[in-house]
Amino acid sequence: MTTPPSTRMAAEIAEQPEAARRTLEHLLPQRAELRAAHAGRRRVLMVARGSSDNAATYGRYLLEVAAGVPAGLAAPSVATHYGARLDLSDTLVVSVSQSGATAEIVETQDWARRCGAATVAVTNVGDSPLAAEADVALVTRAGAELAVPATKTYLTQVLALAVLADALGADLEASLATVPAAVADLLGTDVTEAARALAEADEVVVSGRGLLLGTALETALKLEETCLRPVRGYSYADLRHGPISVVTHGVLAVLVAAADGPLAAPMVELAGDLRGRGARILGIGGTTAFAGQCDVHLPGPDLPEVVAPIGSIVPAQLTIERLARDLGLDPDNPRGLAKVTRTDTSAG
C-alpha cells in the first residue's frame, strides 16, 4: 500500500500531472480569444510579483524566442505609485496572480486598460477581481492550493503562458500534450542526496539561463521562503559578471539546465568553472555532460527546451519539501507568509 504524502505541499506537488491536464483542456480552446486580444498590437507586457513573476520571466523569454513577439516585465509601481500615463495602445498586458486578488496587480491591470492596453489575466481563481476585469481570463485548473508555497498553481501558470505563446505564433501544441506525463515521471525522483547537500551547505547560489531562468529564480525563492535559508538567485550572465568571484569552498551551486537548446553547452561550462572554484554542484536536468559535472544530479523532464521549464521545477519542489522537513520546519506554513500578498499601493 502506498504511503500518502506527509504534508500538504507534497500532496499538491503530486497533483500536478492532473492539474496540468485539466489546465490544458480548459485553456487550449481559448487561443482564438488570445489572438483576437493581441490583434493589431505589437508587444506583450507582463505584470506579476513573487512566484508569478518567475512564471512571467519564462513567458517573456518564450514569447520572444518561440513566437517572435517582443515582451517585457512591468514594474507595478509605475502604475500604483507614480501613476505614469503611458500609451499602451500597442500592448497586450498579461497580469499573473495565483489568487487574482493581490491589490497591486489588480490596480495595475486597471491602469493598463485605462492606458489603452488589451488585458489578459492568468489566475487560479475564476471569480477573482483580476479575472472579472480582464478582456481574456486564463483560469488555471490547479484546484484549491492549501499549502502556502505555490507549487501546482505555479506550474499551471507557466503552462498558461505557454498556451498564450502558442496562440501568438509558437508551435507548441504537440510538446504541450506531453507535459502531464513528463511531470508524472518526475514525481518518484529520489531527492535524499539533494536535500542533504543543501542542508550541509554554508551558502547557496542558484542559476539558470534563458528559458530556464524563471525556474532558477523560483527555486531560489522557494528555498528562502520554505526553508528559511538565505539564497542568491542569478541568471547565468549575471553570475558571470562579478558574483562568481565569491563562489568558493562551502558554496553549493544549484544549476538548472535543459537537455537541448543553445544554452545546454554553456551550462556544462558553468558547472565545470564553479567546481574548479571549489563549489559543490547540484544540477537539475541538462545533458549527460552536464550531469557528469555535478556532485549531485536530479533528472529533468523529458521535454524540449521550449516547454522544459513547465516540468523542471518539479525536482526542485520535491527537494525543498524534503529539506524543510529534514530541518524540522513546516513546509505547509512557512514563517511570515500568506497566500495573498499585500503590497503597499498607497500614493504617499
Same domain, 252 and 126: no
Look at residue 233 and tell me if it is in a domain.
yes
Stretch 255-283: mean pLDDT: 95
Look at residue 348 and tell me if it is in a domain.
no
167-225, pLDDT tens digit by residue? 999 999 999 999 999 999 999 999 999 999 999 999 999 999 999 999 999 999 999 99
Same domain, 211 and 112: no
Same domain, 201 and 54: no
Same domain, 147 and 213: no
Same domain, 230 and 99: no
Look at residue 223 and tell me if it is in a domain.
yes
Look at residue 41 and tell me if it is in a domain.
yes
**Among the three residues 177, 204, 235, which one is the final residue of a domain in this structure?**
177
Look at residue 61 and tell me if it is in a domain.
yes
Look at residue 347 and tell me if it is in a domain.
no
Would you tell me the crossing angle of helices 192-200 and 308-326 to the nearest 10 degrees? 60
Same domain, 57 and 148: yes
The rounded mean pLDDT for the chain is: 93
Backbone angles phi, psi at 293, to 5 degrees: -90, -5
Same domain, 235 and 273: yes
Q: Write out 216-250 in H/E/C secondary structure.
A: HHHHHHHHHHHHCCCEEEEEHHHHHCCHHHHCCCC
Quick one: pLDDT at residue 248? 75
Largest Cα–Cα distance in the chain? 61
Same domain, 165 and 79: yes
Give me the number of domains the chain comprises: 2
- Residue 308 is classified by DSSP as H
Q: Which residue has the higher pLDDT, 340 or 335?
A: 335
Same domain, 189 and 263: yes
Q: How far is CA 5 from CA 2, 204, 219, 313, 331, in A?
A: 9, 27, 21, 18, 12
Same domain, 81 and 51: yes
Look at residue 268 and tell me if it is in a domain.
yes
Burial 271-308 (b: 16+ CB within 10 A, else e): bebbbeeebbbbbbbbbeebbebbebbbbbbebebbbb
Same domain, 167 and 268: no
Give the pLDDT band (50/70/90) at residue 155: very high
* Cβ atoms within 10 Å, residue 316: 25
CA distance 71 to 69: 6
65-96, pLDDT tens digit by residue? 999 999 999 999 999 999 999 999 999 999 99
CA distance 147 to 51: 14
Instruction: Give the chain's radius of gyration (CA, Å).
Output: 19
Look at residue 88 and tell me if it is in a domain.
yes
Task: Detail the DSSP E strand segments found in the chain.
Answer: 43-47, 71-73, 91-96, 118-123, 136-139, 203-208, 231-235, 251-257, 280-285, 296-298
Residue 288 is part of which domain span?
184-326
Same domain, 69 and 31: yes
Give the pLDDT band (50/70/90) at residue 347: very low
CATH, residue 252 = 3.40.50.10490
